[in-house]
Chains A and B, each alone.
Chain A
Amino acid sequence: MAKNIGRALFKFFDERFLLSGLGAFAGKKTVPEHQHSFWYFFGGISLFLVGLQVATGLLLLLHYIPSIDGAHESIRVIMSQVKFGWLIRSVHSWSANILIGVLFVHMFSTFFLKAYRKPRELTWMTGFLLLVLFMAFGFSGYLLPWNELSYFATRVGTDIAGSLPLIGGWLKEVILGGPDISQATLSRFFWFHVAVLPVVALGVIGIHILLVQTLGMSKPIGVRETREIPFFPDFIYKDALGWILVLILIGVVCVLLPWEVGTKADPLAPTPLGIKPEWYFTFMFTTLKLIPAHVLSIEGEQLAILGFLAGGLFWFLVPFLDRRAAREKRSPAFTWIGLFVAAYIVVLTVITYTVPGL
């Protein structure tokens, strides 16, 4: 009986959604298995963490108040009085940071395995776009609790945008919604964080996943192994196992180290010492601090910003620049470039937190 109803329901939806076609696709799809296939997990973990972000973000919206008088208080209420509010917010904040870290790992593993080569150029480019989008998520979300650290970090961050040549002043005002951080800024960041970015990001994620699904996983250059496992259920199960382990990790950090509320932002207070943006911006931030004021009569800070923009563009266009990989040949030059970039990011991030005065 139940089976019959189930079959009838399936038939009903199958006729409208072409479920059996999807099922056939999923049934046929395979994933290569070789010595490097461990790195495939990071894409799945990223997707899982994005889901966690959406879920906890939706829940936080229930109690968060996007006003400069109420924001900090509402976070305090979420952390102290709403049942399990501390958990939801800590999961949101912690998994957001873990997500950025996983995205970096995912990106660099893709880079070193040269998975961006033809025909997966667009997968790489949408992926890079997603990293930028999630960093924007981080930047806009950081201000929302309206605490001292986030307030001043936002000020420093937007000042950097403001020092861009030509459009700097205009850009800063557009970001802040006025000449300085105010209610307009909070409204804007809130709107950006919960409305604009999610829509854009979900769209790009859709394209990214569609590309991954239709093109399949890339096999690194020179890997002869031909073993493959079915995507469903084998690969999905393995992915899920990874997600569970990540969940356990998040649970432990959230219970033992709930995300702090901090002191409420006071625009008139002196800037606290050693103000830093979120850790994933520090490699750029510290570069700006370390670069000399003038490099060959060009302002150092502007040079660094332009350098990062150029570097970003290079990174974005790597699939088209790496001609050897496109022909399935090893391209050690790009491996070296990737190693340099990774080392640069790691070293500057580490010194930001270890060298006193940075």
Chain B
Amino acid sequence: MRRRSFIDVFFGGSLLATAAAFLYPVLRYILPTKALASSQKSVTAAKVGELPPNAAKIFKFGAKPAVLVNTAEGRLIALAATCTHLTCTVRYEADSGTLFCPCHNGRFDLSGAVLSGPPPAPLETYGVLVAGEEIVVARKS
């Protein structure tokens, strides 16, 4: 009967080990993760009122940066923020009300059109929707 008890212990032990190997990932999966809260709604660019007039903010749209501009007149405009020249990230210049690429001084207006500098193509523009407290940016349909 010694063999029998050995097999049973062996069986029970490996069953427990396997169960632990399965329960651990499941538990970790269920327990809340810190990083989650921040990155979930990447299409929500900003909160209403977050941007003063004549200011802008870079946000993540898909895998690429985009820029949300609140114009001096209070209009909300969203554009792709990667310069069409060498894919640097553009920034908003409040003085001129234009988007400026620091790498080679490319300049775009708020419709995405190239004003000066080397960019060969305009910036893609996105649709902006104010949904309650949130400013939602979506690809144009």
Residues of A in contact with B (beta carbons under 8 Å apart): 59, 62, 65, 69-70, 73-74, 77, 81-85, 87-88, 264, 266-268
Contact of A83 among B33, B40, B62, B141 (CB under 8 A): B33
Q: How far is the CA of A77 from the CA of B34 in the complex (A)?
A: 12
Q: How far is the CA of A264 from the CA of B43 in the complex (A)?
A: 12
Q: How far is the CA of A77 from the CA of B40 in the complex (A)?
A: 7
| B41 on interface, CB distance cutoff 8 Å | yes
Instruction: Pull 28 A–B residue pairs with CB atoms less than 8 Å apart, ordered by A.
Output: A59-B29, A65-B40, A69-B41, A69-B43, A69-B136, A69-B138, A70-B40, A70-B41, A73-B40, A73-B42, A73-B43, A77-B36, A77-B39, A81-B35, A81-B36, A81-B39, A82-B29, A82-B33, A82-B36, A83-B25, A83-B29, A84-B29, A87-B25, A87-B29, A88-B29, A266-B139, A267-B141, A268-B139
Q: How far is the CA of A136 from the CA of B42 in the complex (A)?
A: 31
Is B30's CB under 8 angstroms from A81's CB? no
Q: How far is the CA of A69 from the CA of B61 in the complex (A)?
A: 12
Is A59's CB under 8 angstroms from B33's CB? no
| B28 on interface, CB distance cutoff 8 Å | yes
Question: What interface size band does chain B fall in?
Answer: 10 to 19
Residue on B nearest A237 in the bound complex, by CB: B11
| B1 on interface, CB distance cutoff 8 Å | no
Residues of B in contact with A (beta carbons under 8 Å apart): 25-26, 28-31, 33, 35-36, 39-43, 62, 136, 138-139, 141
Is A268's CB under 8 angstroms from B141's CB? yes
Is A59's CB under 8 angstroms from B26's CB? yes
Q: Which residues of B contact A82 (CB under 8 A)?
A: 29, 33, 36
A80 to chain B, nearest CB (A): 9
Residue of B25, B31, B136 with highest tally of chain A CB at under 10 A: B25
B128 to chain A, nearest CB (A): 14
B114 to chain A, nearest CB (A): 23
A56 to chain B, nearest CB (A): 9
Q: Which residues of B contact A73 (CB under 8 A)?
A: 40-43
Is A81's CB under 8 angstroms from B43's CB? no
Residue on B nearest A59 in the bound complex, by CB: B29
Q: How far is the CA of A59 from the CA of B31 in the complex (A)?
A: 11
Which 4 pairs between the two chains have the least Cβ-Cβ distance?
A84-B25, A83-B28, A84-B29, A81-B35
Is B40's CB under 8 angstroms from A59's CB? no
A317 to chain B, nearest CB (A): 42
A145 to chain B, nearest CB (A): 15
Residue on B nearest A251 in the bound complex, by CB: B21
Q: Which residues of A contact B40 (CB under 8 A)?
A: 65, 70, 73-74, 77
Q: How far is the CA of A40 from the CA of B137 in the complex (A)?
A: 55
Q: How far is the CA of A82 from the CA of B41 in the complex (A)?
A: 15
Q: Which residues of A contact B26 (CB under 8 A)?
A: 59, 84, 88
Q: Which residues of B contact A77 (CB under 8 A)?
A: 36, 39-40
Q: How far is the CA of A65 from the CA of B44 in the complex (A)?
A: 15
B103 to chain A, nearest CB (A): 27
Contact of B30 among A62, A87, A264, A267 (CB under 8 A): A62
Residue on A nearest B25 in the bound complex, by CB: A84
A212 to chain B, nearest CB (A): 26
Q: Which residues of B contact A59 (CB under 8 A)?
A: 26, 29-30
Q: How far is the CA of A308 from the CA of B77 in the complex (A)?
A: 52
Q: How far is the CA of A17 from the CA of B69 in the complex (A)?
A: 68
Q: How far is the CA of A76 from the CA of B41 in the complex (A)?
A: 11
